[in-house]
Amino acid sequence: MPRGTAFFAGMTKTQLRACIRLRLKERELGEVFQDDLISDLIAEKHYYCSVHDLRPSQFRMLYRPGGGYDFYGLFDPSRWHKVSWAQCLDPRDQNDWIQTALRLASAPFLSARRLAFPICERCGVLPSTEVDHVNPEFQSIARQAMQLMTVSEYRNAFRGFDWWSDQPFTLPVDNSALAYTLQAHQSTTLQAVCKDCHLQNAAGRKMLRGGSA
Ligand SMILES: [Zn+2]
């Protein structure tokens, strides 16, 4: 969408974000309030609510330890649930969810590597606390994997997702991005590393790319 195109309620994303922030500034933490603009936005644009015909009727912001607030909506029948208005504005977040699910799915490969190499494979000194995707990088696996997903797979991924559950978001077993990611991990070069070596690996790659992240 080109810059300046109306996104919702006649406003661009930038205008809408500013408008909602202004409205929320007037609210106290813990206060229960109504806001039709935010209700409509969530009903129409939220990745989960929009496909499940959910429209929160009231809201409240609760203190989040470490700063900021958690945003809750009141859904029928009388159930508070965390819901992000900001995510309605940023469609990339759907991919973030998928990427997180792909990371979770590849976790067993990583822990197996770490178990096999309890000492950092790079410095040979410190205990290995994490695992580096040496080649290809996780980002590139995930990018390729997600390119395989069809529109209906995107839809199904979120349709089947139990938003009310406390369980993490996962993809259906027949999802092509998931299948690709699991397969790619059979041949991915992994390295069990300490934190410092992980950072150095990443810095080295960044330098090879000419400093572009
Ligand atoms: Zn190390």
Helix (H, G, I), strand (E, B), or coil: what is residue 206?
helix
Digit-coded pLDDT (tens) for 88-137: 997 656 788 899 999 999 999 999 999 999 999 999 999 999 999 999 99
Query: Is residue 79 situated within a structural domain?
Result: yes
User: What is the pTM (predicted TM-score) of this model?
Assistant: 0.62
CA nearest neighbour of 109 among 185, 11, 58: 185
Q: 130 C-alpha vs ligand 1 centroid, how far in Å? A: 10
Digit-coded pLDDT (tens) for 200-211: 999 999 888 875
Q: 133 C-alpha vs ligand 1 centroid, how far in Å? A: 14
Query: Is residue 137 situated within a structural domain?
Result: yes
Per the structure, the complete domain to which residue 30 belongs is given by 13-89
Query: Is residue 151 situated within a structural domain?
Result: yes
Digit-coded pLDDT (tens) for 51-61: 889 999 999 99
Query: Is residue 85 situated within a structural domain?
Result: yes
Q: 131 C-alpha vs ligand 1 centroid, how far in Å? A: 11
Structural domain count, the chain:
2
Give the CATH number of the domain where residue 67 resides: 3.10.450.40
Q: Which residues are within 8 A (CB) of 122 and not within 5 positions of it... i.e. 6 or more apart?
A: 191, 193, 194, 197, 200, 201
Residues paired with residue 69 on neighbouring β-strands, in sequence order: 63
Q: 136 C-alpha vs ligand 1 centroid, how far in Å? A: 20
